[in-house]
Amino acid sequence: MVKTIRNRGLMVVVLLSVLCNFSCKEEVKKEVVTDEIEVTGHYVEPYRSQFHFTPEENWMNDPNGLVYNDGVYHLFYQYYPDSTVWGPMHWGHAVSEDMMKWKHKPIALFPDENGLIFSGSAVMDHYNTSGFGTEDNPAMVAIFTYHDMEGEQAGKKDFQTQGIAYSLDNGDSWTKYEGNPVIGNTGIKDFRDPKVFWNEIEENWTMLLVAGDHLQIWNSPDLKDWKKVSEFGKDKGAHGGVWECPDLFPLKIEGTEEVKWVLLVSINPGAPNGGSGTQYFIGDFDGTTFTTDQKENKWVDLGRDNYAGVTYNDAPNDERIFIGWMSNWDYARDTPTEKWRSAMTVPRELTLRKVGDEVSLFNYPVIGFEKHVALAYPESIIKILPTRKRIIPLKYSNQSKTKFTLSVPNAQIYFRNKNGDSLSVDIDRDKKLVTLDRRKSGNVDFSDKFSPGVQQMKIPNLPDDPIEIVLLLDHSSLELFINGGQYVMTNQIFPTEFFRAITIVNNSEEELVIEDFTEHKVERVWD
């Protein structure tokens, strides 16, 4: 199958008549013949992501069991193989050598007599503490939540327990542990999403479990017998909804030898822009207890579509690599795709950096992403006078990476297409605020919760220097990275036609000079 989408030669004079619904004047008029985007093979349905992971078909949500072994990155995920809406949960499975080009694998874990297979994690048992493998052939162990649907429907509160399974062939086949569940339930309604890692401090395994509105920490010598050692969060963080999908890991503050621990906790509802979101805490972990003196709520991503993200165990070079589910429970079941539903974010490296007196968590596409970025399309030096704008035709449209440095304090960036769809990002460094508006970005009426208003992101600690802007535009998403990932917004979009131009408006009182504007084509990652 071949699907060809042409960005026809566009005369900017014509574009101006369509795009100039603003009081500011245009700076430049020139003809640019844009490229042709050709999508061949499979995965060419409307809105199908071309460089983000999607399931072959049907429903997907949380990433699970992120683990690296023998040169392979494993991505397990919540999966319902019989419909494009949520149903009895399985673990889907895919593998990659670079976290960009994925190979779909058979379903890894199926529901059983203990319940559905909800979210969790995976580890390599290198020391064979479990006895499931050997030191020469260590087991890959999956740790997950069992969800007893009949128990929930009967009104019980103990319907979620924790189970394990193991694989001796690098995730291709799995055996459930005969002693499941390994952690029972004493009456906690929301008791799930185990994240397990090897605890170097105690030389044992640590499990994070969410328990309604807070976190529990458990330790085990062998992945089978667990003991609760502490709790965290009843008086910390956002509590507008149920806590989910925790993760805990150490990171050095860049440029120093100081190590801090980062705790991720997703929450639904209760995110700043509505529905689902992921908060983070920076603090200390002594092997049993996590503590923090953090007062304000901090968020990994202030867009509406980055949820339930967790990081890889055993990633090379101790990198901390994060993948999130690119959706929001407010409307996840209703998005306008037919064969499949949902995508993952691009994989991102997490780092800690000190900006002024504050330490913040940065997240930015992994270096491997750049291997799939090609055909840089640079503009000549762009100069925009105060109150004016520059319209730049997009050569690679909704399969692109656009990057430039913004030197003025206030500017607006927006995309338009010939059907009048628009998507805008307003960066106001005077007000220390970013505003994103997708209310007219195309197909938005499939849910009244998708675009009820503009999204806002506070940017209180941006440096005074020029800042880098990166925009990753796929067929149905925009990921915005400001200042190397200091501030990030991820959003789904469903335009009725590819965006044909990007416009930059200078809302400052000084001339905007951009010397490094480039548009790159991002290669399609499906074979």
CA distance 33 to 40: 22
Catalytic-residue membership of 421? no
Backbone angles phi, psi at 132, to 5 degrees: -75, -25
- Residue 286's Cβ-count burial label (10 Å; 0-12, 13-18, 19+) is exposed
Cα-trace Rg, the chain:
23
What is d(CA 492, CA 469) in angstroms, rounded to the nearest whole number?
Answer: 19
CB atoms within 10 A of CB 455: 20
Quote the DSSP letter at residue 446: T
Handedness of CA 159, 164, 169, 174 (dihedral sign): negative
The percent helix, strand, coil of the chain (3-state, each to 5) is 5, 50, 45
CA dihedral (60, 246, 68, 473) positive or negative: positive
Q: DSSP secondary-structure letter at 371?
A: G
One-letter-per-residue 3-state SS of 194-205: EEEEEECCCCEE
Tokens of 176: 């459930």
Q: Rounded distance, CA 456 to CA 121, Å?
A: 32
Helix (H, G, I), strand (E, B) or coil at 15: helix
What is the 3-state secondary structure of 154-199? CCCCCCEEEEEEEECCCCCCCEECCCCCCECCCCCCCEEEEEEEEE
Helices (H) and strands (E) in the chain, counts: 2, 40
Backbone region of residue 130 per phi and psi (left: phi > 0; alpha: psi in -120 to 50; beta: other values): alpha
The token duo for 52 is 């983000």
CA atoms 274, 277, 281, 287: torsion sign = positive
Phi-psi region of 41 (alpha: psi -120 to 50; beta: other; left: phi over 0): left
Measure CA of the first residue to CA of the last residue in the chain; give whole Å. 13
Task: Name the helix (H) or strand (E) containing 18.
Answer: helix 12-19
Report the alpha-carbon distance of residue 186 to residue 202 in Å, rounded: 26
The catalytically annotated residue of 35, 62, 148, 437 is 62
CA 90 remoteness from chain centre: 21
CB 205 within 8 A of CB 129: yes
Burial class (CB in 10 A: 0-12, 13-18, 19+), 242: middle
The residues annotated as belonging to the active site are 62
